[in-house]
Amino acid sequence: MPSRLTPDDQQRVDQYLSAPQHQVERRPFKVWRLLLVVLGIVVVLGVLSRFLGSLVL
């Protein structure tokens, strides 16, 4: 897909993106860690809701 920017604008965008503050090294994304966190939150909220339900009934 060709760029819709003018060459001058594209040069400014490339210069902006090559600045040091935009070159942050990131750690690799860990899918299993995210899955465990979401699963842990669901379990904790489920246990909490059962506990609160037992207090009301």
Q: What is the pLDDT of residue 52?
A: 95
Q: Is residue 13 part of a domain?
A: no
- DSSP assignment letter at 6: -
- What residue type is assigned to position 54 of the chain? S
SS3 13: helix
Mean pLDDT of 18-37: 92
Give me the percent of the chain exceeding a pLDDT of 70: 98
User: How far, in Å, CA of 17 to CA of 5, rounded?
Assistant: 15
In a domain, 47, yes or no: yes
19, part of any domain: no
Q: Based on the structure, what is the number of domains in the chain?
A: 1
pLDDT category at 23 given cuts 50, 70, 90 is: confident
**pLDDT band for position 1 (cuts 50, 70, 90):** low
Report, as an integer, the average pLDDT of 4-33: 91
Classify residue 27: in a domain, yes or no. no
What totals of helices (H) and strands (E) does the chain contain, helices first? 2, 0
Which residues, at least 6 apart from 13, have a Cβ–Cβ distance to it below 8 Å? 5
Question: Is 49 inside any structural domain?
Answer: yes
Alpha-carbon distance 50 to 15, whole Å? 56
